[in-house]
Amino acid sequence: MMPESSKPPAGRWVKGSALVDYVMLMRANPDLAWAENLSAEDLAQLKQMILPASWYPADLFQRLGVAVFKLVSKESYEVVRGFGRFLADRMNKENPGLVVPGRAQDTLSKYRVIQERLYSFKIIEIVESGPGRSRLRISTEPGDVAARLLAEVTAATAGRLVELSGGRHLEMKLLEAVWEGAKQTTLVASWEARVKSEG
């Protein structure tokens, strides 16, 4: 399937800029068993130039993410979480004003807006549920091959952004998950705001 140059009106699509990191890892490790984890059609599309502003099928993005998880990360969720934290740090550098010191809720709201630019569907919903507490609903569906990976990356990215905003004693709990039979994936983040010392 060819990428779409403009945002498709239907279906689930991701921007090429969301694919780039995975594609770079794939091309940096050509000797790994990509052909055993991706279809010939997938490989043909991923060998072409990935256009950051074009739209690609979300299923392709998920399959590539799973292949990278198996072959590069060696199925380590610690590596996946590290990648999520890296994404947060890079996002902070590339988006001045993203992190609002002392106001992690505002930072998370800005993070949601950035994520919505990368997906043709509402990928994440963040609901403030009290001081230092937010509920994150991730748009994964039963059968999504990368549902847990997306949840792990999202949790790590959001958690790191809370820390960069001054939140401490962060806790990120999985409330429900599609891979455990739920209809949606929901995380609950809680933290304490850092109080500036006087003087």
Same domain assignment for residues 182 and 127 = yes
DSSP state of 179: G
Print the domain residue range for 66.
13-71
Same domain assignment for residues 102 and 62 = no
CB-CB contact of 185 with 151 (8 Å):
yes
Domain boundary among the residues 71, 89, 118 is at 71
Instruction: Identify whether 78 is part of a domain.
Output: no
Domain boundary among the residues 71, 88, 106 is at 71
Instruction: Identify whether 151 is part of a domain.
Output: yes
Instruction: Identify whether 77 is part of a domain.
Output: no
Instruction: Identify whether 4 is part of a domain.
Output: no
Instruction: Identify whether 84 is part of a domain.
Output: no
For the chain, what is the domain count?
2
Give the pLDDT of residue 197. 45
SS3 89: helix
Instruction: Identify whether 88 is part of a domain.
Output: no
pLDDT digits (tens, 9 = 90+) for 22-65: 999 999 999 999 999 999 999 999 999 999 999 999 999 999 99
Alpha helices (runs of H) in 52-146, residue ranges in sequence order: 58-71, 77-94, 104-116
pLDDT digits (tens, 9 = 90+) for 89-113: 999 999 999 999 999 999 999 999 9
Exposed, middle or buried by CB within 10 Å (0-12, 13-18, 19+), for 39?
A: exposed
Same domain assignment for residues 179 and 102 = yes
Instruction: Identify whether 58 is part of a domain.
Output: yes
Same domain assignment for residues 130 and 175 = yes
| Structure tokens belonging to residue 84 | 């999520």
- 128: domain CATH number is 3.30.1380.20
DSSP state of 148: H
Percentage of residues in the chain with pLDDT exceeding 70?
Answer: 96
Q: Is the pLDDT of residue 195 over 70?
A: no
Task: Using pLDDT thresholds of 50, 70 and 90, give the confidence band for residue 142.
Answer: confident
Same domain assignment for residues 67 and 108 = no
Same domain assignment for residues 141 and 188 = yes
Same domain assignment for residues 39 and 102 = no
Domain boundary among the residues 71, 86, 113 is at 71
